[in-house]
Amino acid sequence: MSKPIKILFCSSSGGHYWNILHLKNLVDKYPSFVVTEKTDFCENKICEKKYLLPMLNRKTFSSYLKIPFVVIKSIFILIKEKPTHIISSGAFAVFPLLLFGKILGKKIIFLETYARVNTPSLVGKLTYRFADLFLVQYQSMQKVYPKAKVGVVL
């Protein structure tokens, strides 16, 4: 007998989170929760249960000081909630959830953000190596990610 599905939706704020919001129909089918960055934009809800991470920006030194906290909180969330699947559109703040989720045997589904038409994102390049399903939103991105499936999420 298979384990019941429980989905963790995770993404950074802004356009990444906007992509995830369009998967709301899955919330009606499966127990779910969301992890995103603490911003005003995160008030748009996909799930009732939400965990917030500090906002990270790879271009600022202070963000690198927050990484240990994000890693610890990510592991805590994964152990506490026990998702079976992680669906993400990136970016930096949620990469620890993807990496440790994979180590813990979770199914990883990654959606390369709609803004990527010809070039990969950093988190996309890293996650492509271990994702169980990798989706791009444009046929042109299959040149970058040959094993990716085209699946529009707008």
Contact 151, 135 (CB under 8 A): yes
CATH code for the domain defined by 7-150: 3.40.50.2000
Query: How high is the pLDDT of residue 63?
Result: 72
pTM beyond 0.85, yes or no: yes
What is the pLDDT at residue 41? 60
Q: What percent of the chain has pLDDT over 70?
A: 94
Q: What is the predicted pLDDT for the residue at 90?
A: 85
State residue 154's pLDDT score. Answer: 45
Q: Give pLDDT < 50 ranges for the chain.
A: 154
Confidence (pLDDT) at 33: 95
Location of structure tokens 């559109």: 89
β-strand pairing of 85-90 with 7-11: parallel
C-alpha distances (whole Å) from 95 to each of 109, 127, 140, 143 are 12, 8, 24, 23
pLDDT of residue 152: 60
120 contacts: CB under 8 Å, gap ≥ 6: 112, 128, 141, 144, 145
The whole-number pLDDT of residue 69 equals 92
